[in-house]
Amino acid sequence: MLPAKLTLALNDQFNNELQAAHAYTAMAAYFSKKGYHGFANFYLVQSQEEHQHAMKFYHYLAAMDEKPVLQALNEPKNHFERALDVLESSLAQEKDVTSNIYALVTLAGELQEHATLSFLDWFIEEQTEEEKTFRDLITRMKQIEEGGEYFLKMDDEFAERKL
């Protein structure tokens, strides 16, 4: 069993990951509506990844003899002006997740919960990768026009992405 404060924080992150999956599905819908099915696919895969991250927290809590507790999801942002806005929202979301993971690491360290620290190592690496991905995509997107030739090449590239 884990300290109550840590269990609560892990459950909050379990739900934060589900919220991120929810938000990425809304971002996919932006691209689907515009006919950019590759970008939509990219975001649907992102949503699936976030759900998998949530399930890692679920299984960890269960393995530690704690109950995973589902909370209500908030309505995600459903309206974007342009593709760059979606990417910038994605990066901001990933930065929030990173901040939450760091806070969990700090708490687990203070409580000397070494198993939890070990569990969270994977998330630190994952967040580094996720933030880099979105920073790189924003850099690319700032150089091109939405709907232009290179944008459509990116759309084709993203259509191939799988979980």
Is 17 annotated to bind ligand?
Answer: yes
pLDDT at 163 over 90: no
CATH of 4-72+79-159, one of 3.40.50.300, 1.20.1260.10, 1.20.58.2240, 1.25.40.10: 1.20.1260.10
Is 127 annotated to bind ligand?
Answer: yes
Is 113 annotated to bind ligand?
Answer: no
Instruction: Note whether 72 and 64 are within 8 A (CB).
Output: no
Mean pLDDT to the nearest integer, 44-62: 98
Encode pLDDT of 8-23 as tens digits: 999 999 999 999 999 9
Is 13 annotated to bind ligand?
Answer: no
Place of tokens 């070494």: 114
pTM: 0.95
Encode pLDDT of 79-108 as tens digits: 999 999 999 999 999 999 999 999 999 999
DSSP-assigned states of every residue in 128-140: HHHHHHHHHHHHH
Is 37 annotated to bind ligand?
Answer: no
